[in-house]
A and B are shown apart, each in its own frame.
Chain A
Amino acid sequence: MSPDPSHYLVVGALLFGLGAIGFLTRRNLILMMLSSEMMLHGVSVNLTAFSQYHGQHDGQALTIFVLTIAACEAGLSLAIILALYQRTRSLDIRLWTTLGEEELMPPMADSASREIEPQAEPLPKLVPAGRRPVIGADGHVVTPVLSNSQVSGKGAKA
């Protein structure tokens, strides 16, 4: 075996570059994660090559940590991707350029106009209370006639 690690470094650089190209060009969320795993592969090849070059175990131990983190990353990313997929029924990355919730994000034009013309304070609104009125067939509100006994009975219940 040759102690010269440059061949492995070349292969590692190629794998890393291919993973980077895949990460930039892919529009599928899952394949972007796979491309990042490819970049991790390139790093692992480098680490084992240096481990061999120096005759020590440190590179291989680090590769095991890379493997651990890759497994964590895969599990978490797939859970997130499934959650995102449930919302939009699509894996397109362009749908998720802004990850905020829509109702919380003020649109750009809105914030610009707000600076010019400040909005008036919203008036307080009355909380609806009481029984929902019953509307009869003729369109008028049918008010139930409350007798004295019903009112007193309600008061007793309360």
Chain B
Amino acid sequence: MNWVSENIALIGTLVLLGANILLLFPSTGRKSGIPGFLLLPVTLAALGWVFLQPTGDLVRDILFYMAAGTAVLGGLLMTTQRNPVYAALWFAVATLGVCGLFVINSAPFLAAVTIIVYAGAIVVTFVFVIMLAQQEQGSGYDRIPQQPFLATVLGCLLVGTMLLGIEKTFGPDSSRLSVDRTALHVSSLSVENDLGSPGGVGRSLFTDYLFAVELAGTVLLVATIGAIAIAPRRPQGSL
């Protein structure tokens, strides 16, 4: 009981998140997801209030809340949206939020690459395939989710354990942060002008990870050949 009362905020927020996901899920008995949408800002605000206390740097806080809110909102709606095309577009929105987080984490090159690869290639390909394989409006397997209650409970438990671990490691009670912060501040200052630039990332890729880069290129080549080999053909042999 002591443990529950200590972590009441975490448990309450997780229950709120799970309830919101369940409300957002399309179900046969309920016509609209309006209660879920109304609960959405409350959930996001609760998540921010409990886990993401502002650090005091106003500009950074505003940017962070915008990016993180976009990412989590896009993830929530992608998980629960019944129309597959809308779900793919919400995934693109979540990708934009994640790229905002990359920029705040001083990785502008990665943000640009992620936008190009995800929003430009992967989401477009997914939408293409969705349209190729589109059934009549609203097929049954999109409308009825599979074990929504069990999956939501399981996912919230997973998130809860991760958040608990983060809180134990980085929370105000932990002793290691104060030690680490000074040492890390120095190290991050020394390379700050280089961190995240294309030159710096390229130097890291082509020195420390050269072998892995070659392997990744081989994997890309094999995946391309495999995709062409697997892709279904018409009887006359064209793709």
Which of A8, A35, A60 is close to B79, meaning CB atoms less than 8 Å apart?
A: A35
Q: Is the CB of A5 within 8 A of B113?
A: no
Residues of A within 8 A of B188 (CB): 3, 52-55
Q: Is the CB of B52 within 8 A of A7?
A: yes
User: Which partner residue on chain B sits nearest A67 by CB separation?
Assistant: B117
Binary contact track A10-26/B, C-beta < 8 Å → 1, others 0: 11011111111110111
Number of chain A residues whose Cβ lies closer than 8 Å to a Cβ of chain B: 74
Q: Is the CB of A55 within 8 A of B187?
A: yes
Q: How many A-B residue pairs have CB under 8 A?
A: 273
Closest CB in chain B relative to A89 CB, distance in Å: 8
Binary contact track B87-101/A, C-beta < 8 Å → 1, others 0: 110010011001001
Q: Is the CB of B106 within 8 A of A82?
A: no
**Interface check B163, CB cutoff 8 A:** yes
Residues of A within 8 A of B155 (CB): 17-18, 20-21, 24
Binary contact track B134-146/A, C-beta < 8 Å → 1, others 0: 0100011110111
**Interface check B37, CB cutoff 8 A:** no
In B174-204, the 8 Å CB interface with A consists of 177, 181, 184-185, 187-192, 195-196, 200-201, 203-204
Of the listed stretches B1-9, B28-36, B118-126, name the one at the interface; the rest are far from the partner chain. Answer: B118-126
**Interface check B223, CB cutoff 8 A:** yes
Name B's interface SS.
helix
**Interface check B208, CB cutoff 8 A:** yes
3 A-B pairs closest in CB distance: A55-B188, A17-B159, A57-B204
Closest CB in chain B relative to A17 CB, distance in Å: 4
Binary contact track A39-74/B, C-beta < 8 Å → 1, others 0: 001001100110111111110110111011111111
Distance, CA A6 to CA B167, complexed state (A): 8
Q: Is the CB of A14 within 8 A of B142?
A: no
Distance, CA A10 to CA B68, complexed state (A): 10
Residues of A within 8 A of B145 (CB): 25-27
Residues of B within 8 A of A78 (CB): 125-126, 129, 227
Which of B94, B163, B226 is close to A15, meaning CB atoms less than 8 Å apart?
A: B94
Q: Is the CB of B204 within 8 A of A58?
A: yes
Residues of A within 8 A of B109 (CB): 60
Q: Is the CB of B107 within 8 A of A14?
A: no
Closest CB in chain A relative to B77 CB, distance in Å: 10
User: Which partner residue on chain A sits nearest B65 by CB separation?
Assistant: A7
Distance, CA A60 to CA B102, complexed state (A): 9
